[in-house]
Structure 1
Amino acid sequence: MSAGTHDVVVVANRLPVDVTIGEGGSLSFERSPGGLVTALAPVMESQGGAWVGWTGKPDIDVAPFEDETMTLWPVRLSEQEVAGFYEGFSNATLWPLYHDVIVPPEFHRAWWNTYSAINRRFATAAAQAVAPGGTVWVHDYQLQLVPAALRALRPDVKIGFFNHIPFPPLEIFTQLPWRRQIIEGLLGADLVGFQRPGDASNFLRSVRRLTGLQVRGPQVTVPGHWSRPDRTVRAQAFPISIDSAAFDRLARTPEVQERAKQIRLELGSPEVVLLGVDRLDYTKGISHRLKTFGELLEDGQLRPPEACMVQVASPSRERVEQYRQLRDEVEVTVGRINGDYGTLGRAAVHYMHHSYPMEEMAALYSAADVMLVTSLRDGMNLVAKEYVAARSDLGGALVLSEFTGAADELTQALMINPHDINGTKAKIMQAVTMSTQEKRRRMRSLRRRVLTHDVQRWADDFLGYLAMSVPTPPSDLRPGRHHGETTQGDEPSQARTTREEDAR
């Protein structure tokens, strides 16, 4: 296999563009917003980067093309492959398994076969794109087999993997029939990154139990093959963040501030506005949140129209049955609460099942007195960080589930166990009645963390660690040569104390 020309290649399930099919089948592409794109765009621009991913539309063949700052390298998926790889194994097997089996995962061999085949296809595309000695950064649970498949094709490159969702405890992970294959796939990387230290520990424990490889601290020694020496894989937490400075600037604009005032007027100028913002997903604890709010109304601790709740639930995976059932359950609960406690023209819960642009979200954050994050399990939860970044006025209060990655960092939030309804009710009332001085003290501390640990710092930390793991193949080793041919080993990555402290 011939090497590509790109020094840095990102591999993710989706390309960073939205694809529109026009009349006659013409395609147009528009850059989709996102923190990952923002963080990596400067690296891509300076180093001639490429991004490998699916267009989001099945059965479309698109050749690699140039975007504003990078080359986009589309991977084709058929309608049947989307059903098996994405909707099936990724989101009906791995997603519930990795989120503490909140709903039962499904295990189907046909899905696994499709997942394996698609991961090999992504690895092949990355191998074709990356330059000799380049860097490949693979993202998330849909592509856990890519590192090992890519290393087989291109042993000359540095490979990083970042898992954006939790990694489950051994007792849960071992339910997966293909558990060893997943571990071996991830061990193809030089650096495996996670959101929380506990996720890295879960991974290392699984490595020790399922492979018998030597694990010392955060490092795994992978034995060499034939004449290839041993190499070292490092697993460590790198908590992701947002482009906090940009979100702070957006929230400060006169247009957003005026819209925030208008939102409160449209809600009837209530004394207290509670806000929830989520994808409509069973991991987000939306039903728990609505139950808690309903009981606060029933107890008389909160009374509409003086208090109301706004719930934004953007559509998610609506072709998956469990998500359709969740939508029905949430909408029935909202209807019941509004029927019991709403008044003419004044709903107790304002429920929106669609997405909003960032300007509207910034206005909602600015208008809300209390932000409710009640996730039952969450890798990070960037909504919590967006709310903090939007509150330059130092107002508002964040009620945050302890089962989010954000809870490790945002320690001045009011922490809750969303399964504990009485405890959650008490924390919400604490947020509602908190003094202005206390709100400002907590929010000042939260903003300090979010503004200094932004998404650019996250990317720099990860890529900095990965750069310390330098494969040094001999000059006669070409990409794609057989494993048995002579090669020098990868240099083990070395810990840097300051970066390690930052990642915690």
Structure 2
Amino acid sequence: MLANQTAPDTAETAPERFDFVVVANRLPVDRIAGPDDKPQWQRSPGGLVTALAPVMQSADGAWVGWHGAPDEELAAFSHSDMHLVPVRLSSEDVELYYEGFSNSTLWPLYHDVIVPPEFHRTWWERYKRVNARFAEAAARTAAPGATVWVQDYQLQLVPRLLRESRPDLRIGFFNHIPFPSPEIFAQMPWRRIVLEGLIGADLIGFQRPSDASNFLRSVRRFNGYTVKGPAVQLTDDDDRPARTCRAEAHPISIDSRTVAELAQDPAIIERSIQIRAELGNPTTILLGVDRLDYTKGIRHRLKAYGELLADRQLAVGDACLVQVASPSRESVADYMQLKDQVELTVGGINGEYDTMSHTAVRYLHHSYPQREMVALYLAADIMLVTALRDGMNLVAKEFVAAHADLRGVLVLSEFTGAADQLKQAVLVNPHDIDGLKAGIMNAVNMPGQEAARRMRLMRRQVLQNDVARWSDTFLGSLNSGAEEPAEPVAVGGEA
């Protein structure tokens, strides 16, 4: 348990306190080499930083997180009008808490056991220890009555730890990945403790109503709490009503207006034309943009595309698949194996179907800056998002935001959170290879007028519900303590 942080500090030891505190595994900055190779910080790309930076600047905010380098201790510092509080992680912490429990236990478990999760007590013990470290840093940083927003699956024990040490705080938690059904979550040896950690929050946000429902069903089944609508009813030591913890769907989004503005930049438009020329000006460019992760369905996508070439429904020269697969967790065995499998599949397709002038698959194992990504979106005719399980998938929304020209078709897995919102996409089940092939050909052959109608409706949704609205809606619900969820949440019976 944390030491109580509400007692006044002495003048000599009093830390700076803030009314709004974000707690995340990583700080919102990256260290780069500046002039004369002197290290300096730059703001990280990504929707979460974009959403929360203005809130922090206007609400006297601080961000608690790891700065990315193990075995290094840094003092708190400021950057871009944000106060940053680094949490130290050792190399062993990274191995056991992050690569181990977070990414080899929780990640596969929460993504429907696409890869079997591993349950190791040493990983769990380190996860608890590191979560306590983050909670202590947040408790030291939060002013009396502050709002603390904890982010994602790496820090699920932090809300309870904060509640015990700082009952004066208003605590929110957002789960950026799916939450599994109780039947899958049941495998977790420490399931009750994880759930107790989460219900330390006043409000827990999920990407989809089904995720919120899964959480509420698990709390009722494994911890025995009473659940009424979206709220877990909590009692004190004398079994009297004490407070509630609400679970709501708050689907995250992107900085859609920035993407839309970049798509109007003449230099980026020219780059998109250049990309098509470099690919030999095929009739149809299909695009996949993913982290190299087994949840993204890259192998299913390649299999479907390879079969379409074999069936002669598509032909190299008329069609080209560009697959961007940014490096991810390359020290984890499952990811190393996936990299080998994807590269072997790409090599097989290209060896079979490439011509002297055209390639079947242009495979790019890199990360690219935002301007280049927008140029790729503009160059593409069809976006393939074939995730086997995804909390949201922001690439799908970026593709839509980029196409003010209303050109292009989105082929979208029904197992993504984005499928709840982008209903005019060509929705597919990526496990069904024949169905996936049919979806791709539907996109290839879709009349321009129909594609434009679908894109117009999707763009309206993405532009109206941007990442700023996501953060405003979540924080508004957290601070109002409203009893009604942002979206309806149905809690079904147990299987």
Tell me whether the two structures share a fold, i.e. TM-score over 0.5: yes
| Residue in structure 2 matched with residue 366 of structure 1 by the alignment | 378
Query: C-alpha deviations, 1:415-472, integer Å up to 9, x for none?
Result: 0000111111111111111111001000000000000000000000100000023xxx
| Residue in structure 2 matched with residue 292 of structure 1 by the alignment | 304
Alignment partner of 1:495 is 2:484: yes
**Aligned to 2:287, which of 272, 275, 290?**
275
**CA distance in 2 between partners of 1:37 and 1:274 (Å):** 29
Alignment partner of 1:198 is 2:187: no
Matched-pair contact (CA < 8 Å) for 1:94–1:141: yes
Structure 1 pair 47/201, CA: closer, same or farther in 2 (3 Å)?
same
Alignment partner of 1:208 is 2:197: no
- Matched residue SS, 1:252: coil
Shift of 1:222: 1.1
| Residue in structure 1 matched with residue 153 of structure 2 by the alignment | 141
**Aligned to 1:248, which of 260, 274, 289?**
260
Q: Which residue identity lines up with residue 468 of structure 1 in the other structure?
A: S
**Aligned to 2:52, which of 23, 33, 40?**
40
| Residue in structure 1 matched with residue 9 of structure 2 by the alignment | none
| Residue in structure 1 matched with residue 197 of structure 2 by the alignment | 185
Shift of 1:23: 12
- Structure 2: give runs of 5+ residues left out of the alignment: 7-15, 490-495
Shift of 1:29: 1.4
**CA distance in 1 between partners of 2:365 and 2:226 (Å):** 49
Alignment partner of 1:164 is 2:176: yes
Shift of 1:494: 2.5
Structure 1 pair 25/143, CA: closer, same or farther in 2 (3 Å)?
farther
| Residue in structure 2 matched with residue 477 of structure 1 by the alignment | none
- Matched residue SS, 2:263: helix
**Aligned to 1:12, which of 5, 17, 24?**
24
| Residue in structure 2 matched with residue 115 of structure 1 by the alignment | 127
Structure 1 pair 246/152, CA: closer, same or farther in 2 (3 Å)?
same
| Residue in structure 2 matched with residue 82 of structure 1 by the alignment | 94
TM-score by length of 1: 0.92
Matched-pair contact (CA < 8 Å) for 1:19–1:57: no
| Residue in structure 2 matched with residue 481 of structure 1 by the alignment | none
Matched-pair contact (CA < 8 Å) for 2:280–2:357: no
Structure 1 pair 25/310, CA: closer, same or farther in 2 (3 Å)?
closer
**CA distance in 2 between partners of 1:284 and 1:321 (Å):** 17
| Residue in structure 2 matched with residue 489 of structure 1 by the alignment | none
Shift of 1:346: 1.9
**Aligned to 2:404, which of 392, 395, 414?**
392
- Matched residue SS, 1:124: helix
Q: Which residue identity lines up with residue 104 of structure 1 in the other structure?
A: P
Query: C-alpha deviations, 1:319-346, integer Å up to 9, x for none?
Result: 0000000000000000000000001242
Structure 1 pair 303/187, CA: closer, same or farther in 2 (3 Å)?
same
**CA distance in 2 between partners of 1:216 and 1:381 (Å):** 30
Quick check: 283-292 or 16-25, which moved more? 16-25
Aligned-residue sequence identity (percent) comes to 64
**CA distance in 1 between partners of 2:406 and 2:242 (Å):** 52
**CA distance in 2 between partners of 1:217 and 1:223 (Å):** 17
Query: C-alpha deviations, 1:56-90, integer Å up to 9, x for none?
Result: 11011101111112100000000011000000000
Alignment partner of 1:337 is 2:349: yes
**CA distance in 2 between partners of 1:314 and 1:446 (Å):** 26
Matched-pair contact (CA < 8 Å) for 2:5–2:165: no
Shift of 1:2: 4.3
Query: C-alpha deviations, 1:388-419, integer Å up to 9, x for none?
Result: 00000000000000000000000000000001
- Matched residue SS, 2:410: strand
| Residue in structure 2 matched with residue 476 of structure 1 by the alignment | none
**Aligned to 2:137, which of 100, 103, 125?**
125
How many equivalent residue pairs?
Answer: 477
Shift of 1:46: 1.1
**CA distance in 2 between partners of 1:47 and 1:398 (Å):** 38
**CA distance in 2 between partners of 1:40 and 1:268 (Å):** 42
| Residue in structure 2 matched with residue 173 of structure 1 by the alignment | 185
**Aligned to 2:276, which of 252, 264, 285?**
264
**Aligned to 1:92, which of 104, 113, 122?**
104
What is the RMSD of the two structures over their aligned residues, measured on CA atoms?
1.7
**CA distance in 1 between partners of 2:157 and 2:418 (Å):** 27
Matched-pair contact (CA < 8 Å) for 2:279–2:358: yes
Q: Which residue identity lines up with residue 391 of structure 2 in the other structure?
A: G
Structure 1 pair 37/284, CA: closer, same or farther in 2 (3 Å)?
same
**CA distance in 2 between partners of 1:39 and 1:71 (Å):** 16
Query: C-alpha deviations, 1:188-233, integer Å up to 9, x for none?
Result: 0000110000000000000000111110010001112369951010
- Structure 1: give runs of 5+ residues left out of the alignment: 470-492
Q: Which residue identity lines up with residue 441 of structure 2 in the other structure?
A: M
| Residue in structure 1 matched with residue 492 of structure 2 by the alignment | none
Matched-pair contact (CA < 8 Å) for 1:288–1:374: yes
Alignment partner of 1:347 is 2:347: no
Q: Which residue identity lines up with residue 103 of structure 1 in the other structure?
A: V
Matched-pair contact (CA < 8 Å) for 2:105–2:117: yes
Alignment partner of 1:464 is 2:464: no
Shift of 1:500: 3.8
| Residue in structure 2 matched with residue 454 of structure 1 by the alignment | 466
| Residue in structure 1 matched with residue 12 of structure 2 by the alignment | none
